[in-house]
Structure 1
Amino acid sequence: MPQHSIILDSPTKRIKLVPPSSSDDAASAACRVHPTTRRFLQFLPEHMSTDEARIRREGRAEDKRIVDFNVHYTQNDGNIIFGGFCGFFNIDENHNSCEGGIIVAPELHGTGVATEAIYVLLRYIFENRNIHRTTFETGADNLPMQRWLETVAGARLESQRKDAWRALDGNYSDVKGYAILETEWRGHIKAQLENRLARFI
Protein backbone atom coordinates (compact mmCIF):
# COMPACT_ATOMS: atom_id res chain seq x y z
CA MET A 1 0.00 0.00 0.00
CA PRO A 2 1.51 3.40 -0.94
CA GLN A 3 1.92 6.14 1.62
CA HIS A 4 -1.22 8.24 1.97
CA SER A 5 -1.26 11.76 0.51
CA ILE A 6 -3.33 13.53 3.19
CA ILE A 7 -2.16 17.03 4.23
CA LEU A 8 -3.91 18.82 7.10
CA ASP A 9 -3.48 22.49 8.02
CA SER A 10 -4.08 23.99 11.45
CA PRO A 11 -6.21 27.13 11.93
CA THR A 12 -3.14 29.19 12.84
CA LYS A 13 -1.13 27.91 9.85
CA ARG A 14 1.77 27.21 12.26
CA ILE A 15 1.21 23.47 11.98
CA LYS A 16 0.82 21.18 9.01
CA LEU A 17 0.34 17.43 9.29
CA VAL A 18 1.97 15.77 6.31
CA PRO A 19 2.59 12.21 5.12
CA PRO A 20 5.83 10.76 6.52
CA SER A 21 8.59 10.97 3.93
CA SER A 22 12.29 10.30 3.50
CA SER A 23 13.12 13.97 4.05
CA ASP A 24 12.13 13.61 7.72
CA ASP A 25 13.65 10.19 8.42
CA ALA A 26 16.79 11.53 10.14
CA ALA A 27 14.82 13.99 12.29
CA SER A 28 12.24 11.31 13.11
CA ALA A 29 14.95 8.90 14.28
CA ALA A 30 16.58 11.59 16.43
CA CYS A 31 13.22 12.48 18.00
CA ARG A 32 12.37 8.87 18.88
CA VAL A 33 15.67 8.21 20.67
CA HIS A 34 15.97 11.59 22.43
CA PRO A 35 16.23 11.17 26.24
CA THR A 36 13.30 13.52 26.76
CA THR A 37 11.11 11.42 24.46
CA ARG A 38 12.21 8.18 26.08
CA ARG A 39 11.73 9.40 29.64
CA PHE A 40 8.18 8.06 29.77
CA LEU A 41 8.40 5.76 26.73
CA GLN A 42 11.23 3.45 27.66
CA PHE A 43 10.17 0.80 25.17
CA LEU A 44 11.44 3.12 22.42
CA PRO A 45 14.93 2.31 21.09
CA GLU A 46 18.03 3.97 22.49
CA HIS A 47 19.52 4.17 19.01
CA MET A 48 17.94 4.42 15.56
CA SER A 49 19.58 5.04 12.21
CA THR A 50 18.04 6.96 9.35
CA ASP A 51 17.74 3.69 7.46
CA GLU A 52 15.89 2.08 10.38
CA ALA A 53 13.51 5.05 10.42
CA ARG A 54 12.91 4.52 6.70
CA ILE A 55 12.15 0.82 7.20
CA ARG A 56 9.72 1.64 10.01
CA ARG A 57 8.00 4.33 7.92
CA GLU A 58 7.63 2.09 4.89
CA GLY A 59 6.36 -0.84 6.96
CA ARG A 60 3.70 1.24 8.70
CA ALA A 61 2.54 2.69 5.38
CA GLU A 62 1.65 -0.87 4.32
CA ASP A 63 -0.74 -1.33 7.27
CA LYS A 64 -4.23 -0.04 6.48
CA ARG A 65 -4.98 0.15 10.22
CA ILE A 66 -2.41 2.94 10.64
CA VAL A 67 -2.47 6.57 9.47
CA ASP A 68 0.76 8.37 10.39
CA PHE A 69 1.57 12.04 10.03
CA ASN A 70 4.71 14.08 10.53
CA VAL A 71 4.25 17.46 12.16
CA HIS A 72 5.78 20.40 10.31
CA TYR A 73 6.12 23.62 12.30
CA THR A 74 6.49 27.05 10.69
CA GLN A 75 8.75 29.27 12.79
CA ASN A 76 8.33 33.03 13.14
CA ASP A 77 10.98 33.58 10.46
CA GLY A 78 9.05 31.39 8.03
CA ASN A 79 11.38 28.40 8.21
CA ILE A 80 9.63 25.02 8.38
CA ILE A 81 11.08 22.45 10.76
CA PHE A 82 10.21 18.91 11.86
CA GLY A 83 7.94 19.14 14.90
CA GLY A 84 7.31 15.50 15.76
CA PHE A 85 4.73 12.96 14.67
CA CYS A 86 1.17 11.97 15.40
CA GLY A 87 -1.51 9.78 13.94
CA PHE A 88 -4.08 7.14 14.62
CA PHE A 89 -3.82 3.38 14.55
CA ASN A 90 -5.52 0.18 15.64
CA ILE A 91 -8.33 1.31 13.34
CA ASP A 92 -11.30 -1.00 13.95
CA GLU A 93 -13.92 -0.62 11.23
CA ASN A 94 -16.33 -3.00 12.96
CA HIS A 95 -16.50 -0.86 16.08
CA ASN A 96 -15.66 2.44 14.32
CA SER A 97 -12.83 3.22 16.73
CA CYS A 98 -9.12 3.93 16.79
CA GLU A 99 -6.23 4.90 19.05
CA GLY A 100 -4.42 8.22 18.71
CA GLY A 101 -0.91 9.22 19.63
CA ILE A 102 1.57 12.08 19.47
CA ILE A 103 5.25 12.73 20.13
CA VAL A 104 6.44 16.33 19.90
CA ALA A 105 10.07 17.15 19.18
CA PRO A 106 11.65 18.01 22.56
CA GLU A 107 12.78 21.46 21.44
CA LEU A 108 9.14 22.41 20.81
CA HIS A 109 7.74 21.34 24.16
CA GLY A 110 5.72 24.12 25.76
CA THR A 111 5.00 25.92 22.49
CA GLY A 112 1.42 24.68 22.00
CA VAL A 113 2.44 22.40 19.15
CA ALA A 114 0.89 19.35 20.83
CA THR A 115 -2.46 21.07 21.35
CA GLU A 116 -2.56 22.34 17.80
CA ALA A 117 -1.53 19.02 16.25
CA ILE A 118 -4.05 17.05 18.31
CA TYR A 119 -6.81 19.50 17.37
CA VAL A 120 -6.07 18.95 13.67
CA LEU A 121 -5.82 15.19 14.16
CA LEU A 122 -9.08 14.90 16.10
CA ARG A 123 -10.91 17.11 13.62
CA TYR A 124 -9.84 14.75 10.84
CA ILE A 125 -10.69 11.62 12.83
CA PHE A 126 -14.18 12.76 13.80
CA GLU A 127 -15.21 15.01 10.92
CA ASN A 128 -13.50 13.46 7.90
CA ARG A 129 -13.20 9.82 8.83
CA ASN A 130 -16.42 9.87 10.91
CA ILE A 131 -14.88 7.65 13.58
CA HIS A 132 -17.04 7.31 16.68
CA ARG A 133 -14.41 6.81 19.37
CA THR A 134 -10.69 7.36 19.83
CA THR A 135 -8.46 6.46 22.74
CA PHE A 136 -5.05 7.57 24.02
CA GLU A 137 -2.64 5.78 26.33
CA THR A 138 0.13 7.18 28.52
CA GLY A 139 2.39 5.87 31.24
CA ALA A 140 0.97 6.01 34.75
CA ASP A 141 4.14 7.88 35.76
CA ASN A 142 3.69 10.51 33.02
CA LEU A 143 1.81 13.09 35.07
CA PRO A 144 2.34 15.97 32.58
CA MET A 145 0.73 13.97 29.77
CA GLN A 146 -2.13 12.90 32.01
CA ARG A 147 -2.84 16.53 32.97
CA TRP A 148 -2.66 17.55 29.30
CA LEU A 149 -5.07 14.81 28.22
CA GLU A 150 -7.53 15.67 30.97
CA THR A 151 -7.41 19.47 31.04
CA VAL A 152 -6.41 20.41 27.49
CA ALA A 153 -7.63 17.57 25.28
CA GLY A 154 -10.71 16.95 27.45
CA ALA A 155 -10.24 13.18 27.42
CA ARG A 156 -11.84 10.92 30.02
CA LEU A 157 -9.82 8.45 32.09
CA GLU A 158 -11.26 5.02 31.30
CA SER A 159 -8.69 2.41 32.25
CA GLN A 160 -5.62 1.63 34.30
CA ARG A 161 -3.59 -1.36 33.12
CA LYS A 162 -0.98 -3.02 35.30
CA ASP A 163 2.43 -3.88 33.80
CA ALA A 164 1.19 -3.08 30.28
CA TRP A 165 4.38 -1.68 28.71
CA ARG A 166 7.72 -3.51 28.75
CA ALA A 167 10.83 -1.35 28.70
CA LEU A 168 14.06 -2.34 26.94
CA ASP A 169 15.52 -3.42 30.30
CA GLY A 170 12.68 -5.90 30.80
CA ASN A 171 10.86 -3.93 33.49
CA TYR A 172 7.14 -3.25 33.13
CA SER A 173 5.18 -0.05 33.71
CA ASP A 174 1.53 0.72 34.28
CA VAL A 175 -0.56 2.53 31.67
CA LYS A 176 -3.59 4.82 31.85
CA GLY A 177 -6.13 4.90 29.03
CA TYR A 178 -8.23 7.89 27.99
CA ALA A 179 -11.07 8.22 25.49
CA ILE A 180 -12.99 10.81 23.48
CA LEU A 181 -16.29 10.14 21.73
CA GLU A 182 -17.45 11.93 18.58
CA THR A 183 -20.35 13.41 20.57
CA GLU A 184 -17.89 14.80 23.12
CA TRP A 185 -15.78 16.28 20.35
CA ARG A 186 -18.72 18.11 18.84
CA GLY A 187 -20.28 18.87 22.23
CA HIS A 188 -17.43 20.72 23.95
CA ILE A 189 -13.92 19.50 23.17
CA LYS A 190 -13.63 21.08 19.72
CA ALA A 191 -14.63 24.52 21.05
CA GLN A 192 -12.38 24.09 24.08
CA LEU A 193 -9.33 23.43 21.88
CA GLU A 194 -10.23 26.25 19.49
CA ASN A 195 -10.34 28.67 22.41
CA ARG A 196 -6.81 27.63 23.38
CA LEU A 197 -5.58 27.99 19.81
CA ALA A 198 -7.03 31.50 19.48
CA ARG A 199 -4.02 32.96 21.30
CA PHE A 200 -1.77 31.89 18.41
CA ILE A 201 -3.92 33.42 15.65
Structure 2
Amino acid sequence: MPTSGSSSPTRNTRCSPDLVPKRAGATSRLVTLIPPDERQDAAMAHLLSDHETMKYLKFMMRPNGYTVEHASWRRRARDEGQLRKELVNYTIVIKKSQLPSELVGKIHADEYLAPETVPVDNGVIEIDEPYLVVGCCGMSEIDASNHCAKAGIIVDSRFWRHKVSSAALYLTLKFGFETLNMHRIALETTENNLGMRGWMENVVGVKVECVRKEVLYTEGIGYQDSWDFAVFDHQWFGGLEKKLRVRLSQ
Protein backbone atom coordinates (compact mmCIF):
# COMPACT_ATOMS: atom_id res chain seq x y z
CA MET A 1 0.00 0.00 0.00
CA PRO A 2 1.37 3.46 -0.84
CA THR A 3 2.40 5.31 2.30
CA SER A 4 3.82 8.66 3.29
CA GLY A 5 7.06 7.09 4.50
CA SER A 6 9.15 8.07 7.50
CA SER A 7 12.75 8.03 6.26
CA SER A 8 14.70 10.67 4.38
CA PRO A 9 13.54 11.03 0.75
CA THR A 10 15.59 9.77 -2.17
CA ARG A 11 16.42 12.24 -4.90
CA ASN A 12 16.14 11.37 -8.60
CA THR A 13 16.73 13.69 -11.55
CA ARG A 14 14.81 11.82 -14.23
CA CYS A 15 11.49 13.40 -15.20
CA SER A 16 9.17 11.91 -17.81
CA PRO A 17 5.45 12.04 -18.62
CA ASP A 18 5.51 8.26 -18.18
CA LEU A 19 5.90 8.82 -14.44
CA VAL A 20 2.39 10.34 -14.21
CA PRO A 21 0.13 7.49 -13.02
CA LYS A 22 -3.34 6.66 -14.27
CA ARG A 23 -4.54 6.15 -10.69
CA ALA A 24 -2.54 7.58 -7.80
CA GLY A 25 -3.00 7.30 -4.06
CA ALA A 26 -1.20 7.67 -0.74
CA THR A 27 -1.89 7.18 2.95
CA SER A 28 -0.81 8.79 6.19
CA ARG A 29 -1.83 8.94 9.83
CA LEU A 30 -4.15 11.88 9.16
CA VAL A 31 -5.53 11.50 5.64
CA THR A 32 -5.80 9.15 2.68
CA LEU A 33 -5.55 10.27 -0.93
CA ILE A 34 -7.43 8.15 -3.48
CA PRO A 35 -8.36 8.53 -7.15
CA PRO A 36 -11.67 10.32 -7.83
CA ASP A 37 -14.67 8.16 -8.77
CA GLU A 38 -18.41 8.50 -9.20
CA ARG A 39 -19.17 7.47 -5.61
CA GLN A 40 -17.63 10.75 -4.51
CA ASP A 41 -19.54 13.02 -6.91
CA ALA A 42 -22.34 14.00 -4.52
CA ALA A 43 -19.90 14.93 -1.75
CA MET A 44 -17.73 16.91 -4.16
CA ALA A 45 -20.78 18.77 -5.52
CA HIS A 46 -21.64 19.79 -1.96
CA LEU A 47 -18.09 20.93 -1.19
CA LEU A 48 -17.73 22.93 -4.40
CA SER A 49 -21.05 24.66 -3.67
CA ASP A 50 -20.35 25.46 -0.02
CA HIS A 51 -19.70 29.18 0.37
CA GLU A 52 -17.52 28.82 3.47
CA THR A 53 -15.37 26.09 1.92
CA MET A 54 -14.99 28.12 -1.28
CA LYS A 55 -14.71 31.58 0.32
CA TYR A 56 -11.18 32.06 -1.05
CA LEU A 57 -11.91 30.24 -4.32
CA LYS A 58 -15.03 32.07 -5.47
CA PHE A 59 -13.60 32.34 -8.98
CA MET A 60 -14.05 28.55 -9.19
CA MET A 61 -17.70 28.51 -8.10
CA ARG A 62 -20.73 28.20 -10.35
CA PRO A 63 -23.42 30.91 -9.96
CA ASN A 64 -26.03 28.40 -8.78
CA GLY A 65 -23.68 25.86 -7.27
CA TYR A 66 -22.62 22.43 -8.47
CA THR A 67 -25.05 19.62 -9.18
CA VAL A 68 -23.92 16.00 -9.03
CA GLU A 69 -23.87 16.10 -12.83
CA HIS A 70 -21.53 19.12 -12.78
CA ALA A 71 -19.22 17.32 -10.34
CA SER A 72 -19.29 14.23 -12.53
CA TRP A 73 -18.36 16.26 -15.62
CA ARG A 74 -15.53 17.96 -13.71
CA ARG A 75 -14.20 14.59 -12.53
CA ARG A 76 -14.27 13.08 -16.01
CA ALA A 77 -12.56 16.12 -17.52
CA ARG A 78 -9.79 15.92 -14.94
CA ASP A 79 -9.47 12.17 -15.47
CA GLU A 80 -8.87 12.86 -19.15
CA GLY A 81 -6.22 15.40 -18.20
CA GLN A 82 -4.48 12.76 -16.09
CA LEU A 83 -4.55 10.30 -19.00
CA ARG A 84 -2.84 13.01 -21.07
CA LYS A 85 -0.17 13.19 -18.32
CA GLU A 86 -1.08 16.81 -17.51
CA LEU A 87 -2.61 16.30 -14.06
CA VAL A 88 -2.51 14.19 -10.92
CA ASN A 89 -5.90 14.07 -9.18
CA TYR A 90 -6.62 13.03 -5.61
CA THR A 91 -9.73 12.92 -3.47
CA ILE A 92 -8.89 13.62 0.18
CA VAL A 93 -10.66 11.22 2.54
CA ILE A 94 -10.44 10.47 6.24
CA LYS A 95 -11.57 7.34 8.00
CA LYS A 96 -14.16 7.56 10.75
CA SER A 97 -11.47 6.73 13.33
CA GLN A 98 -9.36 9.66 12.07
CA LEU A 99 -12.10 12.20 12.72
CA PRO A 100 -10.80 15.11 14.86
CA SER A 101 -12.22 14.85 18.36
CA GLU A 102 -13.84 18.28 18.05
CA LEU A 103 -15.97 17.00 15.16
CA VAL A 104 -17.16 13.75 16.71
CA GLY A 105 -20.95 13.81 16.73
CA LYS A 106 -21.11 16.68 14.23
CA ILE A 107 -20.97 14.61 11.03
CA HIS A 108 -24.21 13.23 9.58
CA ALA A 109 -24.27 9.46 9.22
CA ASP A 110 -25.26 9.71 5.56
CA GLU A 111 -22.04 11.59 4.76
CA TYR A 112 -19.95 8.45 5.26
CA LEU A 113 -19.10 6.15 2.37
CA ALA A 114 -18.78 2.40 2.85
CA PRO A 115 -15.39 0.69 3.26
CA GLU A 116 -13.74 -0.34 0.01
CA THR A 117 -10.57 -1.55 -1.65
CA VAL A 118 -9.29 1.16 -4.00
CA PRO A 119 -7.03 0.08 -6.89
CA VAL A 120 -4.09 2.34 -7.72
CA ASP A 121 -1.27 1.88 -10.20
CA ASN A 122 1.15 0.39 -7.68
CA GLY A 123 -1.27 -1.75 -5.67
CA VAL A 124 -4.40 -1.11 -3.63
CA ILE A 125 -5.44 1.13 -0.76
CA GLU A 126 -7.59 -0.62 1.82
CA ILE A 127 -10.17 1.65 3.42
CA ASP A 128 -11.41 -0.73 6.08
CA GLU A 129 -14.02 1.46 7.76
CA PRO A 130 -16.57 4.14 6.80
CA TYR A 131 -14.90 7.27 5.47
CA LEU A 132 -15.60 10.88 4.56
CA VAL A 133 -14.76 12.84 1.43
CA VAL A 134 -13.24 16.06 2.81
CA GLY A 135 -11.69 17.65 -0.27
CA CYS A 136 -9.50 17.27 -3.30
CA CYS A 137 -5.93 18.09 -4.21
CA GLY A 138 -3.29 17.32 -6.78
CA MET A 139 -1.07 18.80 -9.43
CA SER A 140 -1.79 20.42 -12.77
CA GLU A 141 0.16 21.95 -15.64
CA ILE A 142 2.75 19.18 -15.34
CA ASP A 143 5.70 20.11 -17.56
CA ALA A 144 8.14 17.20 -17.72
CA SER A 145 10.53 19.11 -19.98
CA ASN A 146 11.07 21.87 -17.43
CA HIS A 147 10.35 19.76 -14.32
CA CYS A 148 7.60 22.15 -13.18
CA ALA A 149 4.01 21.78 -11.99
CA LYS A 150 1.31 23.56 -10.01
CA ALA A 151 -0.29 22.17 -6.83
CA GLY A 152 -3.77 22.97 -5.56
CA ILE A 153 -6.16 21.95 -2.78
CA ILE A 154 -9.77 22.37 -1.63
CA VAL A 155 -10.74 21.21 1.88
CA ASP A 156 -14.13 21.14 3.63
CA SER A 157 -14.15 24.19 5.91
CA ARG A 158 -15.14 22.01 8.88
CA PHE A 159 -11.68 20.45 8.67
CA TRP A 160 -9.65 23.64 8.51
CA ARG A 161 -7.12 23.95 11.35
CA HIS A 162 -7.08 20.17 11.86
CA LYS A 163 -3.90 19.44 9.83
CA VAL A 164 -5.95 17.94 6.98
CA SER A 165 -4.74 20.49 4.43
CA SER A 166 -1.15 20.24 5.64
CA ALA A 167 -1.19 16.44 5.49
CA ALA A 168 -2.70 16.38 2.00
CA LEU A 169 -0.27 18.98 0.67
CA TYR A 170 2.65 17.12 2.23
CA LEU A 171 1.68 13.94 0.36
CA THR A 172 1.14 15.91 -2.85
CA LEU A 173 4.52 17.64 -2.65
CA LYS A 174 6.20 14.37 -1.69
CA PHE A 175 4.82 12.67 -4.79
CA GLY A 176 5.74 15.63 -6.97
CA PHE A 177 9.35 15.84 -5.84
CA GLU A 178 10.13 12.19 -5.10
CA THR A 179 8.16 10.34 -7.79
CA LEU A 180 7.65 12.86 -10.59
CA ASN A 181 11.04 14.43 -9.85
CA MET A 182 9.79 17.99 -10.16
CA HIS A 183 12.18 20.91 -9.73
CA ARG A 184 9.53 23.54 -9.00
CA ILE A 185 5.96 23.23 -7.72
CA ALA A 186 3.89 26.41 -7.67
CA LEU A 187 0.99 27.17 -5.33
CA GLU A 188 -1.34 30.09 -5.95
CA THR A 189 -3.82 31.78 -3.64
CA THR A 190 -5.52 35.12 -3.05
CA GLU A 191 -4.60 38.03 -0.79
CA ASN A 192 -7.34 37.37 1.76
CA ASN A 193 -6.48 33.68 2.17
CA LEU A 194 -4.33 34.35 5.21
CA GLY A 195 -4.34 30.68 6.20
CA MET A 196 -2.67 29.48 3.01
CA ARG A 197 -0.35 32.46 2.86
CA GLY A 198 0.64 31.89 6.47
CA TRP A 199 1.30 28.20 5.86
CA MET A 200 3.52 28.98 2.89
CA GLU A 201 5.41 31.79 4.62
CA ASN A 202 5.65 30.55 8.21
CA VAL A 203 5.61 26.76 7.86
CA VAL A 204 7.10 26.08 4.43
CA GLY A 205 9.30 29.15 4.77
CA VAL A 206 8.91 30.75 1.35
CA LYS A 207 7.88 34.28 0.43
CA VAL A 208 5.45 35.28 -2.28
CA GLU A 209 7.20 35.23 -5.67
CA CYS A 210 4.88 37.68 -7.34
CA VAL A 211 1.41 39.16 -7.26
CA ARG A 212 -0.33 38.89 -10.62
CA LYS A 213 -2.80 41.72 -10.79
CA GLU A 214 -6.46 41.07 -11.61
CA VAL A 215 -6.08 37.64 -13.22
CA LEU A 216 -8.93 35.88 -11.38
CA TYR A 217 -12.47 36.87 -12.33
CA THR A 218 -15.62 36.16 -10.32
CA GLU A 219 -19.04 37.12 -11.66
CA GLY A 220 -20.61 39.70 -9.39
CA ILE A 221 -17.33 40.40 -7.61
CA GLY A 222 -14.90 41.34 -10.34
CA TYR A 223 -11.17 40.70 -10.61
CA GLN A 224 -8.80 39.47 -7.91
CA ASP A 225 -5.03 39.28 -7.72
CA SER A 226 -3.19 35.95 -7.59
CA TRP A 227 -0.50 35.58 -4.93
CA ASP A 228 2.02 33.11 -6.32
CA PHE A 229 4.38 30.94 -4.25
CA ALA A 230 6.74 28.13 -5.23
CA VAL A 231 8.60 25.28 -3.56
CA PHE A 232 11.80 23.88 -5.09
CA ASP A 233 13.40 20.45 -4.98
CA HIS A 234 16.51 21.72 -3.20
CA GLN A 235 14.27 23.02 -0.39
CA TRP A 236 12.37 19.74 -0.17
CA PHE A 237 15.46 17.55 -0.03
CA GLY A 238 17.36 20.11 2.04
CA GLY A 239 15.16 19.75 5.11
CA LEU A 240 11.61 20.83 4.25
CA GLU A 241 10.30 17.28 3.85
CA LYS A 242 11.56 16.33 7.30
CA LYS A 243 10.29 19.57 8.82
CA LEU A 244 6.76 18.98 7.52
CA ARG A 245 6.79 15.28 8.41
CA VAL A 246 7.86 15.98 12.00
CA ARG A 247 5.31 18.78 12.33
CA LEU A 248 2.51 16.46 11.18
CA SER A 249 3.56 13.79 13.68
CA GLN A 250 3.11 16.10 16.67
- After TM superposition, the score normalised by the length of structure 2 is 0.74
Aligned twin of 1:112: 163
Q: Secondary structure at the match of 2:169?
A: helix
Name the CA distance, whole Å, in 1 between partners of 2:50 and 2:204.
Answer: 25
Does 1:45 find its partner at 2:62? yes
Name the CA distance, whole Å, in 2 between partners of 1:80 and 1:152.
Answer: 28
Name the CA distance, whole Å, in 2 between partners of 1:116 and 1:75.
Answer: 17
Does 1:169 find its partner at 2:213? no
1:95 shift after superposition: 1.0
Q: 1:61 aligns with which of 79, 82, 86?
A: 79
1:170 shift after superposition: 5.5
Does 1:182 find its partner at 2:233? yes
Judge conservation of contact 2:209–2:230 (CA < 8 Å) in 1: yes
Aligned twin of 1:17: 33
Which moved further from structure 2: 34-43 or 117-126? 34-43
Deviations 1:60-100 (A, max 9, x none): 11112111100011232753111200000011122110000
Judge conservation of contact 1:161–1:175 (CA < 8 Å) in 2: yes
Aligned twin of 1:154: 205
Aligned twin of 2:93: 72
Q: Secondary structure at the match of 2:198?
A: helix
Higher RCO by CA contacts (8 Å cutoff, separation 6 or greater): 2
Aligned twin of 1:133: 184
Deviations 1:114-164 (A, max 9, x none): 111111111110001111110000001212221012122334321111101
Name the CA distance, whole Å, in 2 between partners of 1:162 and 1:100.
Answer: 20
RMSD across aligned positions (CA):
1.6
Name the CA distance, whole Å, in 2 between partners of 1:187 and 1:74.
Answer: 32
Deviations 1:23-55 (A, max 9, x none): 111111111111112211111224111111111
Name the CA distance, whole Å, in 2 between partners of 1:137 and 1:108.
Answer: 20
Q: Percent identity?
A: 28
1:19 shift after superposition: 0.5
Q: Secondary structure at the match of 1:30?
A: helix
Judge conservation of contact 2:24–2:88 (CA < 8 Å) in 1: no
Name the CA distance, whole Å, in 2 between partners of 1:103 and 1:56.
Answer: 14
Q: Secondary structure at the match of 1:141?
A: coil
**Corresponding letter in the other structure for 1:58:** R
**Corresponding letter in the other structure for 1:7:** G
After superposition, where does 1:90-105 map in structure 2 within 5 Å? 90-105=141-156
**Corresponding letter in the other structure for 2:97:** N
Judge conservation of contact 2:148–2:183 (CA < 8 Å) in 1: yes
**Corresponding letter in the other structure for 1:79:** P
Structure 2 segments unaligned to the other structure (5+ residues): 1-20, 99-128
Aligned twin of 1:122: 173
Name the CA distance, whole Å, in 1 between partners of 2:48 and 2:89.
Answer: 14
Name the CA distance, whole Å, in 1 between partners of 2:97 and 2:135.
Answer: 18
Judge conservation of contact 1:18–1:70 (CA < 8 Å) in 2: yes
**Pairs aligned (count):** 195
Name the CA distance, whole Å, in 2 between partners of 1:39 and 1:89.
Answer: 22
Judge conservation of contact 2:190–2:225 (CA < 8 Å) in 1: yes
1:106 shift after superposition: 1.4
